[in-house]
């Protein structure tokens, strides 16, 4: 029980810090139904982002009770076409993978979740991932294939996601 209380205290502090950080003007965070373990996120992607610039993408972070020992799960609620995002919106990025050796040998344990990561570092990594997909280990094989083989078609589909994200705001 002490672990759950300390994780809630840590998350409360991290939420407050992010909400007060003027340098994070492109990230908005809040709670879902006053639950400290469920965060609503809005990523407002700057125009200098190669593909997703100008988009407003809503997502959720769901934290486990033993955070920061275990990573949260992140899922986009706004539809988004990306090699590292499953069709259901779940984000597949190394720092959100559990802290152990990869059974397939693709990632080292050091690339995976570490308790030093924060919601801020996660969201900044996801924004970076939008510009630089990892198509070698895709969550969305179709998007990765299009990224490699049809860059113009990929860009067109992503621009539609951006337009749709603005209509959903």
Instruction: Tell me which of 49, 92, 161, 169 is the catalytic residue.
Output: 92
Pairing of strands 35-44, 56-62: antiparallel
Q: Verify whether residue 92 is a known catalytic residue.
A: yes
- Helices and strands (H and E) in the chain: how many: 4, 4
Please choose, from the candidates 116, 115, 119, 99, the residue with its C-alpha nearest in 3D space to the C-alpha of residue 107. 99
d(CA 157, CA 132): 16
Under 8 Å between Cβ of 7 and 67: yes
d(CA 110, CA 94): 9
- Reduce the secondary structure of 92-160 to three states and give it as a string: CCHHHCCCCCCCCCCCCHHHCCCCCCCHHHHHHHHHHHHHCCCCCCCCCHHHHHHHHHCHHHHHHHHHH
Catalytic residue numbers, as ranges = 92
């Amino acid at each position: 029980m002490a672990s759950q209380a300390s994780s809630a205290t840590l998350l409360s502090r991290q939420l407050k810090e992010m909400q007060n950080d003027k340098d994070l003007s492109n990230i908005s965070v809040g709670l879902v139904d006053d639950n400290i373990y469920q965060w609503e996120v809005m990523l407002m992607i700057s125009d200098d982002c190669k593909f997703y610039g100008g988009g407003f993408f809503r997502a959720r972070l769901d934290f486990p009770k033993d955070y920061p020992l275990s990573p949260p799960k992140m899922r986009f609620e706004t539809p988004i076409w990306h090699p590292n995002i499953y069709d259901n919106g779940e984000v597949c990025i190394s720092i959100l993978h559990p802290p152990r050796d990869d059974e397939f040998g693709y990632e080292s344990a050091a690339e995976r979740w570490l308790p030093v990561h924060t919601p801020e570092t996660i969201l900044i990594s996801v924004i970076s991932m939008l510009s630089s997909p990892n198509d070698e280990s895709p969550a969305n094989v179709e998007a990765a294939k299009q990224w490699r083989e049809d860059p113009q078609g990929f860009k067109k589909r992503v621009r539609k996601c951006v337009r749709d994200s603005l209509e959903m705001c």
